[in-house]
Chain A
Amino acid sequence: MAAVAMSAGMALKSSFCGAAVQQSGATAVAAKPQRVAMFAVRAGGYDEELVKTAKTIASPGRGILAIDESNATCGKRLASIGLENNEVNRQAYRQLLCTTPGLGEYISGAIMFEETLYQSTSDGKLMVDCLKEGGILPGIKVDKGLVPLPGSNDESWCQGLDGLASRTAAYYKQGARFAKWRTVVSIPNGPSDLAITEAAWGLARYAAICQDTGLVPIVEPEVLLDGSHGIDRTLEVAEKVWSKVFYFLAENNVMFEGILLKPSMVTPGAECPERATPEQVAEYTLRMLKRRVPPAVPGIMFLSGGQSEVEATLNLNAMNQSPNPWHVSFSYARALQNSVLKTWKGQPENLEAAKKALLVRAKANSLAQLGKYSAEGEAKEAKEGMFVKGYTY
């Protein structure tokens, strides 16, 4: 490149200004200045901490253990192994999960339901403290569930914004450092623009409130597995959904370095006759993410949404075969808990074996995050699908 005299540079600047005025048109209509808009540059009190929390959760070889089932849903889990749905049993189950030694090597965060955030173990130790000691950040589900969306095609929307700021402040005090809000989009029901817009807007409002009170928001618009559509259709819908999500996040001045995503992988519908290999799921999912997710987002923690334990791990592994602009990992509930439940069966004598089973699954997904997982030697049960049609959470 030719060197340049600085005087030429100065001349350029001033002629630029002159040119700009001329270029904007000689016939510009003189206008009343608009009302002053309060474009304050966002400066949240928790910004640095949010970035640090998000980076910690999105650390290499680690992912999230989701144990935030509502009492009703937890009841279903307990029922599957013949246990009654009461607080003692829920405590026993969550205690098993929160006190598994060595779990923090593979798990960076655990999402809890409100009851568990304030619960103690049978020895009187707070669950949040058990997690923290294990090197695991506590998280908290803050949404209040799905309800019918009027004017839509039988779709739903997610409630929970009322009083959210005071709730999140209280959760932060209790030790939570990240939050989660799950909304859904259904392909067989459209999805309608209304449902997508509502899902995206609710997530954006929730995310802004969380960041304001020190919690890293996990942004979760789940494109449900239900349906017989092919993988191309899922890609189309996922792109639409994430486009709106990021647009509204930006409108709400959410700081992208301080959020995490929890997307569904891009797969064919559960009832689609054409299945996809892990490599295809990886290809479609990464394509979607590269088209919609700014690199500033530190971590993408996939949900398993009905895939079998092994399927969820294989798919994650396929996505980590080459470097990505963001940490690509897991936030699994059923795909981490299924074998654990079946091993425990509610019996104290099975506790150690159950904890071991959790470590097996956690380690498998840790390896998948690093792109080093192999399905050889996996148990048959781990390969069973967990899709439930019309699953309600």
Chain B
Amino acid sequence: MAAVALSKSVFLGTGVAESTMFKSTSVVPVRGHIVMTSNFEKTNRYADELKQTAAFISAPGKGILASDESNATTGKRLATVGMDNTVENRQAWRELLYSAPGLGNYISGTIMFDETLFQDSRAGVPFVDILKKQGILPGIKVDTGLQPIDGTDGETATQGLDGLAERCQKYYQQGARFAKWRAVLRVDNEVLPSSTAILENAHGLARYAQICQANGLVPIVEPEVTLGEGDYSIERTAYISEKVNSHVFRLLNEYNVILEGILLKPNMILPGLDVPTPAPEEVARYTVRTMLRSVPGAVPGIHFLSGGMSEEEATLNLQALQAFGPTPWSLTFSYGRALQSSTLKTWSGKVCIAFLTTPPYDPDID
């Protein structure tokens, strides 16, 4: 069994001069089409800023407030407290959230919808300025929604790549420093998600992430294995989440996405809705195991979504995760409903915001 003596000078019939062989940006035409591409990170002027932004958002004790509900979805929320879906009501609701005194002690970034990023408070102060004063970075939802993948059983792709670069530039100019794109995968006992859905969603996330980084925005990569009906086990969710994450990271790597400049927004590991809710310790054990198997240490923060969990559940589960540390990435939150639900109910559209928001925890008082 002869081993091969590797010779550096044999390129089959190419006539390429030796001196060009080792430049990392040259195209070397050979049988097999080897192309050496230049490093995306080296040529990206935002590389350092992306890493700093991601580190800031994922700092210990901080998390993300997700307030990027589309107008339609916001309307549903407002309807639950008897309010009409008008631009003024949406403005008032977001103003309440962003003006909560001391919010910046706990929240490092908030994801906004397009309308909100360009909106002002009722007194005419841009929301991005209010947030800046709070020490909170504005983020922006950039996907344009879910679309069915034909030939699958209710599986979806996420739209939004067309014109994304230009939109990112516009958002960056307005003050956004991170972005979000939600990919959704269904899971069941045997068939879902299909490989088609996994590949489609992983691809969308990777392209989106690369475009964001090229334009100064830290991409939140959200491959949500969504909580659904059925009696599939927590083991099944863990296994599928690992598979999905493997494809996602494979494609992020293929597109040269800078991992120190992304944040991950995964689901916690939960069984199907027809299975009794497990204790926080069990959720935490499976969740951390999945993260350890899936997520390289270069990613600074894992911000869990709260999908399907109550406010209290979401917080208890998050707390339980911390017992499994230390980990190379922070285990934190990007919560929408789990942060907003009771606040919305308490407010119910009444104007006296200052008296109705819960004051922040003050260790000197409490």
Does residue B295 face the partner (Cβ distance < 8 Å to A)?
yes
Q: Is the CB of A6 within 8 A of B310?
A: yes
| B293 & A236 in contact (Cβ 8 Å cutoff) | no
Given A8-B311, A153-B32, decide whether A146 and B3 contact each other with a Cβ distance below 8 A: yes
Whether A154 sits at the interface, judged by CB under 8 Å, is yes
Q: How far is the CA of A153 from the CA of B346 in the complex (A)?
A: 68
A226 at interface by CB-CB < 8 Å: yes
Q: How far is the CA of A382 from the CA of B227 in the complex (A)?
A: 59
Within 8 A of B (CB), among A77-119: none
Q: Nearest-CB distance from B100 to chain A (Å)?
A: 11
Interface pair A294/B150, CB less than 8 Å apart: no
Whether A25 contacts B24 by the Cβ 8 Å rule is: no
Which residue, of A3, A16, A147, A229, has the highest number of chain B Cβ atoms within 10 A? A16
Judging by beta carbons under 8 Å apart, are B328 and A390 in contact?
A: no
* Inter-chain contacts of B296 with A (CB < 8 A): 290-295
Q: Which residue of B lies closest to A190 (CB)?
A: B34
Residue-wise, chain B 351-366 has the 8 Å CB interface mask toward A (1 for contact) of 0000000100000000
| Beta-carbon nearest neighbor of B30 in chain A | A153
* With A2-B342, A295-B327 already in contact, 12 other A-B pairs whose C-beta atoms are closer than 8 Å: A1-B311, A2-B346, A2-B358, A12-B337, A31-B150, A39-B236, A145-B1, A146-B4, A188-B21, A247-B250, A291-B253, A291-B296
* Cβ A151 vs Cβ B22 within 8 A: no
Interface residues of A, CB < 8 Å — how many?
Answer: 81
Closest Cβ–Cβ distance, residue B189 to chain A (whole Å):
8
Give the CA-CA distance A1 to B293 in the complex, in Å: 31
A294 touches which of B152, B253, B294 (Cβ 8 Å): B294
Taking the complex as formed, is B225 at the interface, i.e. its CB lies under 8 A from any CB of chain A? no
The answer to whether B152 and A31 have CB atoms under 8 Å apart is yes
Residue of A whose beta carbon sits closest to that of B24: A233
Stretch from B6-14, B112-120, B135-143, B169-177 at the A interface: B6-14
Residue contact A24 to B154, C-beta cutoff 8 Å: yes
Residue B280 lies at the interface, judged by CB distance under 8 Å to chain A: no
Stretch from B89-97, B209-217, B238-246 at the A interface: B238-246
A20 touches B293 (CB 8 A): no
A9 touches B310 (CB 8 A): yes
A294 and B341 within 8 A (CB): no
Contact (Cβ within 8 A) B310 A390? no
A39-B250 in contact given A2-B343, A192-B32, A294-B294 (Cβ < 8 Å): no
Q: Are A29 and B24 in contact (CB under 8 A)?
A: no
Sampled A-B contacts (9; CB under 8 Å): A10-B310, A13-B308, A25-B148, A147-B4, A188-B21, A251-B246, A294-B292, A294-B295, A325-B297
Is B122's CB within 8 Å of the partner chain A?
Answer: no
Q: Which residues of A contact B4 (CB under 8 A)?
A: 146-148, 154-156, 392
User: What 0/1 readout, one digit per residue, does chain A (261-302) give for beta carbons within 8 Å of chain B?
Assistant: 000000000000000000000000001011111111000000
Residues of A1-48 contacting chain B, CB below 8 A: 1-6, 8-10, 12-13, 16-17, 19-20, 23-25, 27-29, 31, 33-34, 36-37, 39, 41-42
Q: Which of B267-288 contact A (CB under 8 A)?
A: 273
Chain A 149-164 per-residue mask, 1 if CB under 8 angstroms from chain B, else 0? 0011111100100000
Contact across chains for A151 and B32 when beta carbons are under 8 A apart: yes
B133 within 8 A of A: no
| Contact B8 A393, beta carbon cutoff 8 Å | no
Q: Are A25 and B156 interface neighbours, CB within 8 A?
A: yes
> Which residues of chain B are near A6, meaning CB under 8 Å?
310, 312
Q: Which residues from B are CB-within-8-Å of A227?
A: 8, 22
Closest Cβ–Cβ distance, residue A259 to chain B (whole Å): 11
User: Quick one: which of B155, B254, B313, B337 contacts A243, CB cutoff 8 A?
Assistant: B254
Interface string of B303-330 (1 = CB under 8 A from A): 0000111111101000000000001100
Judge whether A28 and B154 touch: CB under 8 Å: yes
Mark out the residues of chain B between 119 and 164 whose CB falls within 8 Å of any chain A CB in the assembled complex: 146-148, 150-156
CA distance A16 to B247 in the complex (A): 27
A25 smallest CB distance to B (angstroms): 5
How long is the Cα–Cα vector from A153 to B14 in the complex, in angstroms?
A: 11
Minimum distance in angstroms from A15 CB to a CB of chain B: 8
A232 at the interface (CB under 8 A from B): yes
Give the CA-CA distance A190 to B22 in the complex, in Å.
Answer: 9
Chain B CB within 8 A of A250 CB: yes
Q: Return the CB mask of A214-234 against B: 1 if under 8 Å, else 0.
A: 000000000010111100110
CA gap between A152 and B152 in the complex, in Å: 38
Q: How far is the CA of A246 from the CA of B146 in the complex (A)?
A: 29
Contact pick for B32, options A144, A190, A250, A251, CB 8 Å: A190
Q: Are B310 and A12 in contact (CB under 8 A)?
A: yes
Kindly state the separation between the CA atoms of A13 and B312 in the bound complex, as whole angstroms.
13
Are A155 and B6 within 8 A (Cβ)? yes
The answer to whether B156 and A24 touch across the interface, beta carbons within 8 angstroms, is yes
Residue B39 interfacial (CB < 8 Å): yes
Check if B231 is an interface residue, CB within 8 A of chain A.
no
Chain A contacts for B17, CB-based, 8 A: none
> Given A227-B8, A236-B39, A291-B298 in contact, is the A37-B190 Cβ separation under 8 Å?
yes
With an 8 A cutoff between CB atoms, is B88 at the interface?
Answer: no
Task: Judge if B331 is at the interface, Cβ distance under 8 Å.
Answer: no
Shortest CB-to-CB span from A388 to chain B, Å, is: 11
B350 at the interface (CB under 8 A from A): no
User: How far, in Å, is B345 (CB) from chain A's closest CB?
Assistant: 7
Q: Does B229 contact A (CB under 8 A)?
A: yes
Task: List residues of chain A with CB within 8 A of the CB of B74.
Answer: none
A325 to B227, CA, bound (A): 30
A37 to B193, CA, bound (A): 10
A194 touches B (CB below 8 Å)? yes
The answer to whether A153 and B24 have CB atoms under 8 Å apart is: no
Which listed residue, A29, A247, A392, touches B151 by the CB 8 Å rule?
Answer: A29
**A20, A33, A192: which contacts B226 (Cβ < 8 A)?**
A20
- A33 and B153 form a contact (CB under 8 A): yes
Residue from B8, B246, B254, B312 within 8 A of A189 (CB atoms):
B8
- Would you call A1 and B315 a contact (CB within 8 A)? yes
Cβ < 8 Å to A, chain B residues 53-69: none
